[in-house]
């Protein structure tokens, strides 16, 4: 099969590799759509904390089962599926407590296990989710990232009707978090430094926004909340933008809550501990959770959230590097980019 393989930082090659062979409880999935994630950009530059080389990138994908392991039950060849990113052991303390997303032996597709920038991907049975006919492959490829938003909001932020919530970052994770918080009845304000992202948020129905470029975020937050600060703030940027965590803390009210969702590839961010302590601000963190897949498929299938509306570009697999560079450049309106591995380059 053809695959795009990362051999080192910025060394991405389109190559021929052996087709995957299913183990007893694996499926081979023909990849029809694989979305590009911001964490793929970190990996492309060799800076993702879980990355090993050589590696087939890609973890947000959907496709069709073409082969099954002899012990796999409940799925069939030809079935449309979308696939989760994390491989939990099922045996450690967190797994036994139902929190496989923080498994002690967690492996992650596209980072320390081969992913879906390829014509075919190997997927264990517990990572497969049946895809409703009402959801397209392109929409389904965005369900994993929507699941990050869903878990963060539904299980960590826990919004209440009428709460004032700020979401920092209007990329796909931030947009999803804002939309899900609105569905829960919260009053949402979203921030970003890019006008086109804020315009997309408005198009999706998120009325409140702040352009964070050259803005005193604490002053703006106080202005919008009658001097109190937001009840809760959700950080959805990560990367090398350490400012977003301090902004989040500065924008929340005394006794409020900050949830950090963004990935920080260099494992560092400045956190004002004394400020947080003196105001009894609750600081928590969130990462993706495979249990969010089914509710997200229901949200997309019902039309309550449509990821198709923030897909901006589509590329064949041969142009994966072009797609990554386009997303990174930020000089065009690139929101969500989808690769089509079955499409001729």
> Does the residue 164 lie in any domain?
yes
Given a cut of 80, is residue 155 above it in pLDDT?
yes
> Does the residue 311 lie in any domain?
yes
> Does the residue 191 lie in any domain?
yes
Bridge partners of 316, per DSSP, are 340
Query: Vertex 224, ends 305 and 209: CA angle to 5°?
Result: 35
Bridge partners of 27, per DSSP, are 68, 123
Are 206 and 336 in a shared domain? no
263 confidence band (pLDDT: 50, 70, 90): confident
Are 190 and 268 in a shared domain? yes
> Does the residue 293 lie in any domain?
no
| Range of the structural domain that residue 331 is part of | 2-131+306-340
Residue 273: CB partners within 8 Å, gap ≥ 6?
none
Q: Chain-wide mean pLDDT for the chain?
A: 94
Residue 88: CB partners within 8 Å, gap ≥ 6?
95, 100, 101, 103, 105, 106, 126, 290
Are 155 and 213 in a shared domain? yes
Pick 286 or 242 by higher pLDDT: 286
Are 81 and 191 in a shared domain? no
Q: What is the pLDDT of residues 212-253, one digit of tens each?
A: 998 999 999 999 999 999 999 999 998 766 789 999 999 999
Q: Provide the whole-model pTM.
A: 0.92
Give the best-scoring range by mean pLDDT among 42-51, 168-177, 331-340: 168-177
Are 58 and 116 in a shared domain? yes
Can you read off the two tokens belonging to residue 193?
Answer: 């430094």
Across the range 129-149, mean pLDDT stands at 95
Q: What is the pLDDT of residues 111-129, one digit of tens each?
A: 999 999 999 999 999 899 9
CATH number at residue 34: 3.90.180.10
Closest CA to 1 of 54, 56, 52: 56
Can you read off the two tokens belonging to residue 36?
Answer: 């590009």
Are 37 and 120 in a shared domain? yes
> Does the residue 330 lie in any domain?
yes
Reported as type and span, the H/E element at residue 198 is: helix 195-203
Are 175 and 199 in a shared domain? yes
Given a cut of 80, is residue 290 above it in pLDDT?
no
CA distances from 144 to 70, 72, 172, 203 (A): 27, 22, 11, 22
Given a cut of 90, is residue 306 above it in pLDDT?
yes
Tally of domains in the chain:
2
Are 17 and 98 in a shared domain? yes
Are 65 and 193 in a shared domain? no
- What is the rounded CA–CA span in Å between residue 246 and residue 133? 43
Place of tokens 């909340």: 225
Across the range 266-288, mean pLDDT stands at 91
Are 281 and 185 in a shared domain? yes
Given a cut of 80, is residue 326 above it in pLDDT?
yes
- What is the rounded CA–CA span in Å between residue 301 and residue 126? 21
Q: What is the pLDDT of residues 89-105, one digit of tens each?
A: 889 999 999 999 899 99
Closest CA to 76 of 130, 16, 10: 130
> Does the residue 48 lie in any domain?
yes
Q: What is the pLDDT of residues 21-75, one digit of tens each?
A: 999 999 999 999 999 998 899 899 998 888 999 999 999 999 999 999 999 999 9
Query: Vertex 294, ends 323 and 131: CA angle to 5°?
Result: 65
> Does the residue 291 lie in any domain?
no
> Does the residue 298 lie in any domain?
no
pLDDT of residue 266: 73
CATH number at residue 229: 3.40.50.720
pLDDT of residue 345: 67
Are 110 and 192 in a shared domain? no
145 confidence band (pLDDT: 50, 70, 90): very high
pLDDT of residue 260: 96
Residue 143, class by beta-carbon neighbours within 10 Å (0-12 exposed, 13-18 middle, 19+ buried)? buried
Across the range 278-307, mean pLDDT stands at 93
Given a cut of 80, is residue 19 above it in pLDDT?
yes
Are 324 and 208 in a shared domain? no
């Amino acid at each position: 099969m053809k695959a795009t393989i990362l051999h080192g930082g910025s060394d991405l090659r389109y190559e021929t590799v052996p087709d995957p062979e299913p183990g007893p409880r694996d499926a081979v999935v023909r990849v029809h759509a694989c979305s590009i994630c911001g964490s793929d950009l970190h990996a492309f530059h060799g800076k993702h904390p879980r990355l090993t080389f050589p590696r087939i990138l890609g973890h947000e994908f959907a496709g069709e089962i073409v082969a099954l392991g002899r012990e796999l039950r409940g799925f069939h060849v030809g079935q449309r599926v979308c696939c989760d990113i994390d491989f939990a052991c099922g045996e450690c303390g967190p797994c036994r407590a139902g929190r496989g997303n923080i498994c002690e032996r967690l492996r992650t597709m596209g980072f320390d296990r081969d992913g879906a920038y390829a014509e075919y991907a190997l997927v264990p049975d517990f990572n497969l989710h049946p895809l409703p006919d009402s959801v397209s492959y392109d929409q389904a490829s965005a369900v994993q990232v929507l699941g990050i938003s869903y878990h963060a909001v539904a299980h960590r932020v826990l919004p209440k009707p009428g709460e004032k919530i700020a979401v920092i970052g209007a990329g796909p994770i931030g947009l999803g978090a804002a939309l899900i918080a609105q569905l829960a009845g919260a009053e949402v304000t979203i921030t970003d430094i890019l006008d086109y992202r804020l315009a997309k948020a408005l198009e999706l129905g998120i009325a409140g926004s702040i352009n964070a470029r050259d803005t005193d975020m604490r002053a703006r937050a106080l202005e919008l909340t009658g001097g109190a600060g937001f009840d809760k703030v959700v950080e959805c940027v990560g990367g090398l933008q350490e400012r977003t965590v301090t902004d989040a803390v500065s924008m929340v009210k005394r006794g409020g809550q900050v949830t950090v969702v963004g990935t920080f590839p260099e494992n560092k961010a400045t956190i004002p501990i004394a400020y947080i302590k003196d105001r009894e601000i609750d600081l928590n963190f969130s990462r993706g959770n495979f249990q969010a897949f089914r509710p997200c498929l229901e949200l997309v299938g019902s039309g309550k959230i449509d990821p198709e509306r923030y897909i901006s570009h589509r590329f064949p697999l041969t142009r994966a590097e072009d797609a990554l560079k386009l997303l990174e450049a930020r000089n065009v309106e690139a929101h969500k980019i989808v690769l089509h591995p079955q499409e001729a380059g």
